Each structure stands twice: as structure tokens, then as C-alpha cells.
Structure 1
Amino acid sequence: MSPLNRRSVLLGLGAATLTACATQRLPAAPAAAPQTFPKVLARRERITRTVVGLRPFRPQGFRLEAERFGEKTVIHNYGHGGCGVTLSWGTSQRAATMAGEAGRFDVAVLGGGVMGLTSALLLARRGHAVTVYAEAMHPNTTSNIAGALWLPASLYDRDVATQEFLDLNWHVTREAHRGFLPYVNRPGYGVSWVRHSETSNRVRDPRFALPGGDDLYPDLQILTAQTRFGFPYEERYHTLMIDPDYYLDQLMRDAQLAGARFISQRFETLDDVLALAQPVIVNCTGLGAGKLFGDETIMPIRGQLTHLLPQPEIDYSYTTYIDGSLYMFPRKTGLVLGGSHGRGNWSLDVSEEELTRMIDGHAALAERAAFATHPA
């Protein structure tokens, strides 16, 4: 994983309108009995850590293709923006298939984050001799501080992405979702279903389908009354929550058990990469691909996450907008507060202003009267 990228945050979330390929109208859900939801205790004295990272974003979307360099074949699998963890099973399966089509036994994987680990695991299980090269290894990679709610939307610009990419992304998203399902509630992997709400200041009419299709989100409801926080519009459904603290530990262990080797190595130039002994190379370097492979389109989107002490009673998540984007994801290790998106910002310093916005914003949401009156 590139040093530029090692503290990145990959946040699988965003406005669902960004990634849908179809629109539809759904009937409003009938009223149900109100239920009180526990409040998030968003206070500074409950902060356990604040982390900052850079999402590897390409306006046209992720890069998934083969490139020849003389006798070497490079399979590119990078540039997933805020959706690296959530899309990992989708693009990595395709990258592994492309690597296999090169017809060579030995394969190198560049990058020790979720894309590199998933690609390595798939290739090793298919019988390849796999070596992972990265400067930073788990637990010190990009993906280790990801938000990782399964809602892959913040990965391209709609006015730049082609229809060909949108079609590819639709199928890859569905494949990625299927890849995670066998891990739900599997001991030690940190993957589970969570009740999620996405609220908006305006009614979406017509609305776009959720990423990959509405059928991937059980119990979907479209609400314009009795909404969470009292917003005019809410989409409420179940989706997957992936906790990188657990998941990446198991993923690396699985890759090692399948036979993948791991070597710590830093690459400065393309020549350094092509000097590897393996004839096939899977490139999962994220932001590092800009320097190594001359990709001038890749850029950082800065993210800052604040972790709070655990609240076991919190069994729901939300994304919303109040003086900027805000989201909360519950984990066993603590509550994750986020919502910052600094395009082109390379700073890894904690912003005190952003920290204050997070704490005050989530505290204000918890106190809104509508919080305790919406149906279950």
C-alpha cells in the first residue's frame, strides 16, 4: 500500500442518488407503533480516537483492466473512492479471473489493504502461487480505518462516468454483496446486518434505486412522515456493516492459510514493479497508482472519523445532513462518527473544526424530538 494511502479511510456510503441506474416510485410505508431508540452519547469525554485518511478517488470510477508491459501483465484494481471495503469481493473476483487468464502460475499482488488481501485470497484458492508486496501490512493499512457500511455510492462523478462504467459498476456491486453474505454473523469476521436510515432535506421524487438494486436491502421503506430526526424524507432498510478491526484480521489469516506469502517492500517507480520475478502483477495500490503507473486522474478525498466508547444498546446506523454530511456506525469496539469529504485535500492532520462539527452535529441529532417517535 502506498505511503500516501496507508492512513486512508474507505467509506462505503454517500447519497444513493449517485450510483443508481434506474428510478422508481415505492408506496409510503404504513404507520406503525412508535418505538424509542437509544440516543448516541456524542460527547468529547467519550472520544477514544480520531483518525484521518485519504480515499483513492477517480472521477470516472475505479480502474479494472489489464495492461501489458513487455512480457509482464498488470491487472489494475484500484481507485474505489469511499467504497474499497464494500466493493472488494466484486472487483477482486474479476481481477483474479483476469490474472488467471494470463495463463501463468506465479502472481504478485501490490498492496496490503482490502483489495490486495481479497485478490490474494481468491488467487491462492484458485491454485496460484501468490506473493503480496506492500510497504504497509495489516493492521497498518488504508482499509484498517475504513467506515465500511455496505452502501457503495461515493466512487465516481455522474457527469464524468460513462454508461459502460455504470453498467459494470452495477454488476460488480451485486457480485460484491454476494461475496460478503457467507460471512454474516460468522464468528470473528465482524460482518452483520444493521438497521440503517438515510434522511434528506428534500423528498426524492422520482427516486433512484439504491446501489446495486433495491432488492439488496431488506425491509426497505420510503417514509415522508414519522421520519428519523424529523426530516422530510427517509429511506430505511437493512444493510451490512463490516468492522475492519475484525474482518481484515481474518481476511489476512485466510489468505495465509490458502498459501499467500507476504513481503514488505516499497516501490518508487514502475521499473521497480516490473523488476519483480512474477510475470503477472495485480495492482491494488490505491493512491500510489498515480506515481507508479502515471494515473493523473486519481486524487484524494480526505476523511476524518471520530470513535466513541461503545454503546451496546445502539443497534442502528444513519447517514444524514445537518450543517454538512454526518453518519454514525455502531461497532463492538465503539461508535464511529464521520461525514467529511475533502476533495483534493492531502492533509492527514486532525481538524479541530471538523471534530467539533462531528460531536456537536451528532449531539444535536440525538436531541431532536422526532428521534423517539418513529416506527420500528
Structure 2
Amino acid sequence: MNESSRRTLLASLAALGGAGLVAGCASPGKSLVGGTLAGRRRYDPLDPFPVIRAQADRIFRVTTCLRPFRAAGPRLDTERVGDHLVVHNYGHGGSGWSLSWGSSSIAVQKALSGGDRDIGVIGAGALGMTSALLAQRAGARVTIYARDRPPHVRSSRATGTWSPASRVALEQGLPVDFAGRWEDMCRTSFSHFQSYLGLAGTPVEWTDRYALSDIPFHEAHALRDRAGSPGFVDYHDRVRDLTPAPVDLPAGTHPFPTPFVRRSESLQFNIASLSDRLTNEFLAAGGRFEQAEFHAPYDLARLPQKTLINATGYGARALWRDESIVPVRGQLAWLIPQPELQFGISYRDVGLLSRRDGIIVQSSGVNDFAGYNDPNEQPDRAEAEAAVRVIAALMDRIVAPGRTAA
């Protein structure tokens, strides 16, 4: 944008800002919403808005991922395969990264309970890497057996947001102690992720999220409820102390053109950087990767380690013939990263999260049922472009002079 165009745009924004519709945004390093809520400071229209360049030709890849959902929640029991002890650690739905350290803590404790200190881990995704690292920290020698290593695993195609209760179980038929076990896993994971804040490469960071709506949030939630869902559990009330409470932002205290805006703050996983750090930690502690592919449980009999942690995620459906695993398909459109963007947005069933390795845009559907029991892993370019167009239209309403909120 040349200087003349910039002055014209800023003048238009200033006029719109007086009506409480549009205002500038913080420069990089500032919060998108400036000032204090108590003061209800309006935006300084001279602050440049970090416009999201949501254009189809900026999509540099489209990826899909099958979340390994189990109605009964993650599988963490043990069984014998010949003379091998297998500790299962899979089936976390959309909560694999978020629950990884807590779930793996349980798996590693079971694996080491018999005194064995030579451990094999099957799978190199989020659960495999955290299981391996925790076993090493407990004094074990660890070998990871996997067909693929990061970034060529399903975990590398995850959204990368703190979502410990995302499609993790169904409300019906759970054991009475499941909620407590989930909370323990959640809190353990949250604690472990704090040690990755502020490190080179920013593997984990806090970012703002903005939920935008054209109707009151309670009405939007009622519409989603009426649309139906399988009945996934929701345990957010048990861990509300971990993250700040969401705040509804009045007009004039945010740059968005929608009448209802809610801000929250949450952990973000920059998965490329996080996976690289976990891999390097594992190798630096003497860990070994062995490329291997298994098609049935008895294939594990050839491994020298007698204690194994099965962290194969969705792959466990085929390997263990576990029909309790239901695929929940998710697709990400990847836009070229913009370092000045440090926030996430959800609007009209589309979510956006600006990560260091790309801006990810995905259709969430009208409720949590989207993608349920859909095993299709083929990317859908039309779906990706449609999601990006929703964000593009939102940006047009923010920056185009003379526009009014629809």
C-alpha cells in the first residue's frame, strides 16, 4: 500500500471508529485488543491493522488428519503378546497433543512398574514422542519403532491448540472415575507444556483467540446444540483455573465488524518447532529411531524389548483390529505465515490460527459432528478455498472504506 492509499484508509477507519464499528489494531508484539476493558479505550486509528492476506493463491498446502476417537476415551490398559508386555496409549480424539504428557505419564508408569528399563515405543506422533521422553527421564533406554517420523506423522497435521476435551469421549457409558483421570492428565500436560514456553523457536506460546458472532453467543450455542452431535464430554468446568476466563468485548474496544466478540487466551503449539525439539531431546538422551511397520500384534514378537508402549494413534485401528476407534476427519488449509499475526479467530464455522509455520484455516462445521466417522484422508481444495473465502470476506468488512457490518 502506498502512502497516499494508507492516508485514505486511515481517514476512513477514523470515521468508522467514531461509530464504534472499526478501529485500528496493535502493531506486532501488542495485543490485538488494546487498553483495559474497564476504561473501554477506543482504538487509535493510526495503529495499523495486521490484515490477514486470505487469498486462495496463498494456500501453499492442504492437509487432512484422522483423529482417533474412542467413545470410552483413551486406551491405557495393558496386555500380553507372547512374552511381551504391551501398554496401550492411543485413542485421544482431538486431544492428542493436549493430553500427551499426562496420558504418557500413566503409560510410562505402567511400563516401568515391572522393573524393565529397556523400553520400545511404537509410533512417533505426539503420544509416542512424549512416552519416549518420559521413559528416558525415568532412566530407561528407549527405541522408537515407526514407519514415519515427524513431520510425516498424523500428529504433525493437527491444529496445534490447547484442546484437552476435544472429542475425547462420549458422555454415555464412561467409567465413574474417567472425569477425574481426564483432569489429572490435563493438569499434568499443562504443567509440562509450561517448560517449553519462551524457548528458541517458540514451540509453545500463549495467544489471544477471538470468537466472532453476528448473533448473541447464547443463541449461537443453542443453534449448535439443536443441530445435534454424538454427545461428546465437556469437562472445561473442572480446569477453568488453568486459563483466563473469556471476556465479552464491547463495541469500540476491538477492530472486528461483528456485534458480538469474545476474547480468550490459550496455549498454542507450533508443531513444527515443538516436534523438532522433542526429537532432538530424544536423540540427545541416547534414544534411537528404527524404521519399522507392523500389521498385526504378533509382529511385535520380533522386537528385542519385552516392554512396549503402543502409541500408534489412528494406526491402532488396523494394527490392533480395534473397531472402537472412530475416525474424525479434519482438514487444514495452510496460508503463508505472517509473523505479525499472533491470534486466532473463529467465525461462521471457520477457525483460523496463526502459527509460526503457517496460518491454518479450517471449517469446523455447525457442531462437533463434522468429520465424524469419515475416513477420507484426501485433501479437498474446494473446501479449503471456501474456508479461506470466509476469512477474506471478514477482512473486507474490516478494512474496506465505507463498509458496514452485515
d(CA) in 1 for partners of 2:212, 2:102: 27
Q: Is contact 1:170-1:211 (8 Å) kept?
A: no
Contact kept, 8 Å, 1:62 with 1:155, in 2: the verdict is no
1:34 matched to 2:46? The reply is no
Instruction: State the alpha-carbon separation in 2 of the partners of residues 294 and 56 from structure 1.
Output: 13
CA apart distance, 1:265: 0.4
Answering whether residue 247 of structure 2 is matched by residue 222 of structure 1, we say yes
Q: With the length of structure 2 as denominator, give the TM-score of the two structures.
A: 0.76
Task: In structure 2, give the amino acid aligned to 1:365.
Answer: L
Secondary structure (helix, strand or coil) at the match of 2:377 reads coil
Flag the structure with higher strand content.
1
**How far apart, CA to CA, are the structure 2 residues paired with 1:296 and 1:103?**
32
Superposition pairs of residues 105-184 of structure 1, within 5 angstroms: 105-160=117-172, 162=174, 163-184=176-197
1:230-269 equivalences in 2 (<5 Å): 230=258, 232=260, 234=262, 236-269=263-296
- 1:96-135 Cα deviation digits (max 9, x unpaired): 1111112212111000111111111111121112111011
Contact 1:171 1:212 in 2 (8 A): no
Q: Shift of residue 250 of structure 1?
A: 1.0
Which segment is superposed worse, 196-205 or 116-125?
196-205
Q: Distance in 2 between matches of 1:40 and 1:161?
A: 44
Classify 1:189/1:221 alpha carbon distance in 2 versus 1 (closer, same or farther; 3 Å).
closer
Taking the aligned partners of 1:136 and 1:288, their CA distance within structure 2 comes to: 12
The one of 329, 333, 336 equivalent to 2:353 is: 329
Per the alignment, residue 26 of structure 1 pairs with none
Range that drifts further, 97-106 or 194-203: 194-203
1:334 is matched by which residue type in structure 2?
G
Q: Provide the rounded CA distance (Å) in 1 between the counterparts of 2:298 and 2:384.
A: 41
Are the aligned partners of 2:210 and 2:261 in contact in 1 as well (CA < 8 Å)?
Answer: no
Kept in 1: contact 2:95–2:168 (CA 8 A): no
Conservation of the 8 A alpha-carbon contact between 2:362 and 2:384: no
- Aligned partner of 2:333 among 296, 302, 306: 306
Question: For 1:56-95, what per-residue CA distance to the aligned partner results, in whole angstroms no more than 9, with x for missing partners?
Answer: 1112221122223453221111111112112211111221
Q: CA deviation at 1:157?
A: 4.4
Q: Could you tell me how far apart the structure 2 residues matched to 1:292 and 1:145 are?
A: 21
User: Separation in 1 of the partners of 2:173 and 2:393?
Assistant: 36
Q: Which residue of 2 aligns with 1:351?
A: 380
Query: 1:189, 1:250 within 8 Å by CA — same for their partners in 2?
Result: no
Identity level (%)? 32
Task: Evaluate the alpha carbon distance shift between residue 370 and residue 161 of structure 1 in structure 2; reply closer, same or farther with a 3 A threshold.
Answer: farther
Amino acid at match of 1:43: Q
The structure-2 alpha-carbon separation of the partners of 1:31 and 1:368, relative to structure 1 and needing over 3 Å to count, comes to: farther
Output the CA distance in 2 between the equivalents of 1:91 and 1:188.
Answer: 25
Shift in CA distance, 66/209, structure 1 to aligned 2, threshold 3 Å = closer
Aligned partners of 2:85 and 2:209: how far apart in 1?
42
Q: Distance in 2 between matches of 1:179 and 1:337?
A: 27
Structure 2 gap segments, 5+ residues each: 1-36, 223-233, 365-369, 401-406
Offset of residue 229 of structure 1: 5.2
Unaligned runs of 5+ in 1: 1-28, 372-376
User: Residues 120 and 231 (structure 1 numbering): CA distance in 2 closer, same or farther, change over 3 Å?
Assistant: farther
Is 1:63–1:78's contact at 8 Å kept on the other side of the alignment?
A: yes
Q: Does residue 79 of the first structure (1) align with residue 79 of the second (2)?
A: no
Residues 281-321 of structure 1: per-residue CA shift (max 9 Å, x gap): 1010011212222321102111111111222221211234x
1:365 matched to 2:390: no
Does the 8 A contact of 1:61 with 1:161 survive in 2?
no
What is the alpha-carbon distance in structure 1 between the residues aligned to residue 77 and residue 170 of structure 2? 21
Q: Deviations over 1:6-36 (max 9, x none)?
A: xxxxxxxxxxxxxxxxxxxxxxx65622347
Give the whole-Å Cα distance in 1 for the aligned partners of 2:61 and 2:356: 15
What are the Cα deviations for residues 305-341 of structure 1, in whole angstroms up to 9, with x where unaligned?
Answer: 1111222221211234x1xx31111122321112344
Shift of 1:231: 5.4
| Secondary structure at the counterpart of residue 188 of structure 1 | coil
Superposition TM-score, scaled by structure 1 size: 0.82
**Preserved contact between residue 76 and residue 107 of structure 2 (Cα < 8 Å):** yes
Q: Which one of 371, 379, 391 corresponds to residue 342 of structure 1?
A: 371
Alignment partners' CA distance in 2, 1:306 and 1:273: 37
Report how many aligned residue pairs link the two structures: 339
1:280 Cα deviation (Å)?
A: 1.0
Alpha-carbon contact 2:65-2:377 (below 8 Å) kept: yes
Q: What one-letter code is carried by the residue in structure 2 that aligns with 1:238?
A: E
Q: Quick check: 2:62–2:380 contact (8 Å CA) kept in 1?
A: no
Distance 1:167 1:366 in 2: 42
Residues 148 and 244, structure 1, Cα contact 8 Å, conserved in 2: yes
Question: 1:173, 1:212 within 8 Å by CA — same for their partners in 2?
Answer: no
Q: 1:169 to 1:185 in 2, by over 3 A?
A: same
Aligned CA distance change for structure 1 residues 159 and 34 (closer, same or farther; 3 Å): same
Partner of 1:103: 115
Q: Give the one of 61, 66, 79 matched to 1:67.
A: 79
Q: 1:265 to 1:154 in 2, by over 3 A?
A: same
